[in-house]
Amino acid sequence: MENKKLLKSGEFLVAEITPEDIFIPEEFNEEQRMIAQTCRDFLEAEVYPNMTNLEKGDRELMKSILKKSGELGLMGVSIPEEFGGFGQNFVTQMLVAETTGAGYSFSVAYMAHCGIGTLPIMYYGNKDQRERYVTKLATGELLGAYCLTEPGAGSDANSGKTNAKLSEDGKHYILNGQKMWITNAGFADTQVVFAKIDNDRVLSAFIVERNYPGVVIGADEHKMGIKGSSTAQIFYNDVKVPVENLLGKRGEGFRVALSILHMGRLKLGANVIGAAKKTITDSVKYANERKQFGVLISTFGAIKHKLASQVVRLYASESAVYRVSSDVDLLMDKLKADCGDYGRTAIESISHYAVEAAILKVYGSEALDYVIDEAVQIHGGMGYSAEMAVERGYRDSRINRIFEGTNEINRLLVVDTAMKRAMKGDFDLFGVAEKFYQNMDMITDGNSGNESYYDEKFKFIKNFKKVILLIIHGATKHFDKDFIREQEVMNNISDMIIETYVSESTLLRVGKIENMKGPDASSIYKEILDVKVYDAAAKIRKSAYDAVNSFASVELAGRLTRAVDTLTAVSGINIKDARRKIADKLIEDNYYRF
């Protein structure tokens, strides 16, 4: 692990790595597989049989299932033994997030508790706070919630009005305000609440217990999906919060909130692949049972196209998820030596990968929406029936594009954060971009004539990066300081970055499988890679065109689009056959097993 090349966040835009530098799901060890199996067994035994009652909004039932998962140890995965958990590395944490992701609204309640409800205290709390709260949150003795959003403060999280004032005797903060959309509000024992002390410009964070006088929990919201998870408003009326419950330093709350959001985005990226795997299995099982025109619908090309497209998106997402997860572990190992405290080291390593976290969040949530939408379609009229799991999945999926920062905010973050990191000197983005820009009329596709399969694919990815750099340079040159206000163009760039990162992750994974297991074992994955790169090239070309035609003169647009055409020309593959091969494996397995 130590010899792997570790890139900084966003550096992939200008740097190259090899398959050996990344971790792939095929490398899970026995212990990790057993942990994943325990999660799957738990969903089968405790969650799925109770799903109908959970959907009726039975808070007590959700609470009891959460507590059972705690008794089984599932809540302690991210917590060191010293504080009641069994301290697994980040890859394992993400595997647990993935596996429990197939648990519909249970998954939302569980992830909110284990992640945003518990980890701010683990990462930013002092020893006393960790001992009082984390030890019990890690076992499910206490259940947690995270209270950032307010009626007037959603995406603009720092604009909240909840206020804290030190009492005259200096023993308490007096908390007043209102939070909304709080997951687990109905039963959580502890809340991490963000508020401004006096007239501070930035937030501070507090640990608030549900039983403190003045804490009032509203009724559950009537939601489109994840109906089993409790979501409510919480009101704070002169709540006396002991000064010992200030989390981190005064004014550190916004930093806590942002870094926990980075963590939440990474975990959401893992969570949605669990949901997508279950959905694809539900889709193929139905397609393998349902007959029309005298044959199984899985024999129709139109259905194969859908099944294969579901697989490709999921596979790409999964490849990116575990690539980033192991980067976090590697960084954590590196930082451990400098920083004694586990919590601070963990959150520093996690929040370093802010660009990749936003990528996983956006790509994963949109991949799941695609997968579940096509699952409903494959089920035809039955997909619209509340009796079917895909109907629930369709409603439950939609929230992933809204919470942990909306996808609009995350798309902007991808570009903004990468550029800020480059300006800080983490890597040379602007120098390389300028070089390509100056030479745009000489750009070739880099084809040497007799490249190997992998050389060619690496060349495509390199070319996609060149397109991104050309557009970044062209757009920032044109808009200058106003670039940040040109959200449509930033979105175009973001989409290109996202497609490039997940395509590269897929390539690295398939290359590593071939290195590990040989060409026979990798052949089906090459089909996935072919489709992914083919689709990505088309998307990147479209996004680049949109960006260019938003700022360039006719003459410049002509030159830039010629370069874009050259750089996004991927060699002809029989895309229909590639998709059919992928679908045929899925149909034969009758289960998602890639």
Q: In whole angstroms, how far apart are CA 421 and each of 263, 414, 425, 509?
A: 18, 11, 7, 26
> Smallest gap, in angstroms, from Cβ of residue 467 to ligand FAD?
24
Binding of residue 54 to ligand FAD (CB under 6 A): no
When asked if residue 155 is in the footprint of ligand FAD (CB under 6 A), the reply is yes
Q: Which of residues 454-513 bind ligand FAD (CB under 6 A)?
A: 487
Q: Is 183 one of the binding residues for ligand FAD (CB under 6 A)? A: yes
Give the binding range for ligand FAD (CB under 6 A) out of 176-184, 351-359, 429-437, 555-563.
Answer: 176-184
| 137, two tokens | 């949150």
Q: Is 158 in the site for ligand FAD (CB under 6 A)?
A: no
Q: Considering beta carbons, is residue 268 or 418 the nearer one to ligand FAD?
A: 268
CA distance 362 to 400: 9
Residue (14 or 205) nearer to ligand FAD, CB: 205
User: Please, what's the b/e burial string for 543-556 (b: 16 or more CB within 10 A of its CB; e: otherwise)?
Assistant: bbbebbeebbeeee
Please report, for residues 243, 276, 313, 530, 591, the alpha-carbon distance to residue 303 in angstroms, rounded to integers and kept in the order given: 60, 17, 16, 19, 15
* 181 vs 458 by CB, closer to ligand FAD: 181
Tell which one of 118, 149, 259, 476 touches ligand FAD (CB under 6 A).
Answer: 149
Helix (H) and strand (E) counts in the chain: 20, 10
Asked whether 148 and 199 are in contact (CB, 8 A), the reply is no
Instruction: By CB under 6 A, tell whether 260 contacts ligand FAD.
Output: no
Beta bridge partners of 147: 193
Q: Is residue 147 near ligand FAD by the rule CB under 6 A? A: yes
Does the footprint of ligand FAD cover residue 219 (CB under 6 A)? no
Q: Which stretch binds ligand FAD (CB under 6 A): 78-86, 385-393, 395-403, 464-472?
A: 395-403
Catalytic residue among 404, 486, 499, 527: 404
Q: What are the distances in angstroms from CA 210 to CA 142, 186, 213, 234?
A: 11, 10, 8, 10
* 167 near ligand FAD, rule: CB under 6 A: no
Dist CA 58 CA 76 (whole Å) = 25
Q: Please name which of 115, 396, 425 lies closest in space to residue 262, comparing C-alpha atoms.
A: 115
Q: CA 261 → CA 231, 271, 361, 424, 486, distances in Å?
A: 18, 15, 11, 22, 24
Torsion of CA 198, 120, 266, 347, to 10 degrees: 100
Closest distance of CB 363 from ligand FAD, Å: 16
Note whether 148 binds ligand FAD by CB under 6 A. yes
**27 binds ligand FAD per the rule CB under 6 A:** no
Window 324-363: contact mask with ligand FAD (x via CB under 6 A) = ----------------------------------------
The stretch among 145-153, 442-450, 513-521, 560-568 that binds ligand FAD (CB under 6 A) is 145-153
Binding to ligand FAD by residue 146, rule CB under 6 A?
yes
Scanning the structure block, which residue is given the tokens 């089909």? 527
CB of 136 to ligand FAD, least distance (A): 19
Beta carbon of residue 385, minimum distance to ligand FAD (angstroms, whole number): 24
Using the rule CB under 6 A, which residue among 321, 409, 531, 578 binds ligand FAD? 409
**Rounded Cα–Cα distance for residues 285 and 104 (Å):** 19
Closest distance to ligand FAD from the beta carbon of 557 (Å): 26
Length of the chain: 594
User: Can residue 186 be called a binding residue for ligand FAD (CB under 6 A)?
Assistant: no
Structural contact between residues 396 and 375, judged by C-beta atoms closer than 8 angstroms: no
Is 31 one of the annotated active-site residues of the chain?
no
Comparing CA positions, the residue from 236, 237, 254, 246 lying closest to residue 170 is 246
Q: Give, in order, the Cα–Cα distances in Å from 238 to each of 71, 164, 172, 177.
A: 35, 9, 11, 9
Position among 42, 403, 427, 483 found at the interface with ligand FAD (CB under 6 A): 403
* DSSP character string of 103-124: SHHHHHHHHHIIIIITHHHHHH
Nearest distance from C-beta of residue 354 to ligand FAD, angstroms:
16
Asked if 406 touches ligand FAD (CB under 6 A), the answer is yes
What is the total count of residues that contact ligand FAD (CB under 6 A)?
19
Active-site positions?
404
Residues making contact with ligand FAD (CB under 6 A): 112, 146-149, 154-155, 181-183, 223, 231, 399, 402-403, 406, 408-409, 487
